[in-house]
Structure 1
Amino acid sequence: MTTKYNQYTIQITSNSAYESDSKYNINDYRNVYFEESEYILPSIFGIKIFENDNLVNSAILGVGGGATTIHQGSLVVSKNRLQICCGNFVFCLSIPELKIIWKTQADEITCFGIYKIDEEFIIHGEMQISKIDKNGNIVWKFGGRDIFVTIDGKDNFSITNNIICVRDFQNYIYKVDLDGNEI
């Protein structure tokens, strides 16, 4: 996935074959942020920042939890920061340095999406919906009867008129305000 921010082009790729300190990696990254684990990390994302087609910086993130995919809703770019879901964490990286500003475990299993509301973020996680402030602190979490994903993957999460609507695996629908209160 590629996105533009100011004069930068940010390229994010899934890089599940990357191994820390291996000479066989296809790509090299200046910043390596891997969670220590005895298991294979299911979410590994490579990030490269370009300016005028010249590589400015690069980083690779690797964490446990459930596998996360890269899509339009899995990241937010604003105010020289990249907030991105990776596994069960949300990372906030500086642009263009790609240094970690904060890292927050926002769900027990995996984070599907991040949505900016004013200066805070709503996280659509597998087990919880959570709100994180601009410094990475968890403001609230909301859980339901089952995981927050549907079999067909359709209509399982939306934010409309400051109301979060989420559907769980059993098709129960929850409505939550931006303060974490069920409506």
Structure 2
Amino acid sequence: MRTFKYKDYEITVHTEPKYNPNSMDNLPYDKVIPIDVPFDDFNTCFSLNIEKDGESTSVLIIAPHYISVESCVLPHEKGLFMLLDNFVCLFDVEAKEIVKKVDLEPYGTTERPYIYGEDYIIHGEMNIYRVSKNLEIKWQYSGRDIWERYRGPEPAFEMKEDRICLYDFMDNYYELDYDGNLIFEKENPYQVNPYIGKKQANNEQKRPDDSIKLREYRNGTRNPLRLLSRFFKGRNS
């Protein structure tokens, strides 16, 4: 649960169970707002409990599946800022409505928003964005691979006072200023692809030798169709 203050309002964010308009098992809400998602199991639901002067209103948000309820909502001067997968939204607390929604059209999913001055920095799977308080995309940046790490102690994404430090999945390192300019880059000469193997500097990556079982499937000795044809051939002989 997270709590925000806006004017005389107190808003708490809660994770909620799945919602289906045709079900009798739904919890009661004063308003339900779907964000371009079908009413099925592949979505994420959370509620905004809005309180003022002892009165409470519950608003259910039905969002795309790939969001984190713990981090997708941030304060905004007009209410709440929301990152709902590929959408950035502005929620008006007084009207209890989403009054603006912009599709970032990212490659992959989005991870988490962060406040930077009056703007928002968004860590996406493939893209880094800076979005204004009016939900205008000021810039975006993508690297050679996804902004995730599977090795190394440093985080894949880190905001510092004057720069954003990034590692991609191949362990290449980047630094951006807050205007979206690449100010430093270091390519990893010993890039590691867990699906292929290791790449030595200035050498081509080579796929590891096929396993014995895989070779057997490829040459047909374990191919199910070949085994079946051999079975019927034996019966007909």
* Fold agreement, TM-score > 0.5: yes
Give 1:104 shift.
2.0
Give matches, 1:57-76, under 5 Å.
Answer: 57-63=58-64, 67-71=66-70, 73-76=71-74
Query: Could you say which structure has the higher helix fraction?
Result: 2
Is the radius of gyration larger for structure 1 or structure 2?
2
Aligned-pair RMSD on alpha carbons? Answer: 2.6
Select which of 86, 89, 92 maps to 2:90.
92
Distance 1:20 1:179, change over 3 A: farther
Q: Secondary structure at the match of 1:141?
A: strand
Give me the whole-angstrom Cα distance separating, in 2, the residues matched to 1:146 and 1:38.
33
Q: Kindly report which structure 2 residues correspond to 1:24-35, keeping only aligned pairs within 5 A, or say none.
A: 24-35=25-36
Unpaired runs of 5+ in structure 2?
A: 184-237
Q: CA deviation at 1:154?
A: 6.3
- SS of equivalent to 1:150: coil
Aligned AA (1:44): C
Identical amino acids, percent of aligned pairs: 25
Instruction: Name structure 1 gaps, 5 residues minimum.
Output: none
Per the alignment, do residues 155 and 109 of structure 1 end up closer, same or farther by CA in structure 2, a change over 3 Å counting? same
The one-letter amino acid of 1:157's match is F
Q: Relative to structure 1, is the Cα distance of residues 57 and 70 closer, same or farther in structure 2, using a 3 angstrom cutoff?
A: closer
Deviation at 1:36, TM superposition (A): 4.3
The answer to whether the 8 A contact 1:45-1:86 is kept is no
C-alpha distance 37-79 of structure 1, shift in aligned 2 (>3 A): same
Distance 1:90 1:76 in 2: 11
Query: How many residues are treated as equivalent by the alignment?
Result: 180
Q: Secondary structure at the match of 1:46?
A: strand
TM-score, structure 2 normalization: 0.65
Q: How does 1:1-183 map to 2 (within 5 A)?
A: 1-6=1-6, 7-15=8-16, 17-37=18-38, 40-51=41-52, 54-63=55-64, 67-71=66-70, 73-106=71-104, 107-151=106-150, 155-183=155-183
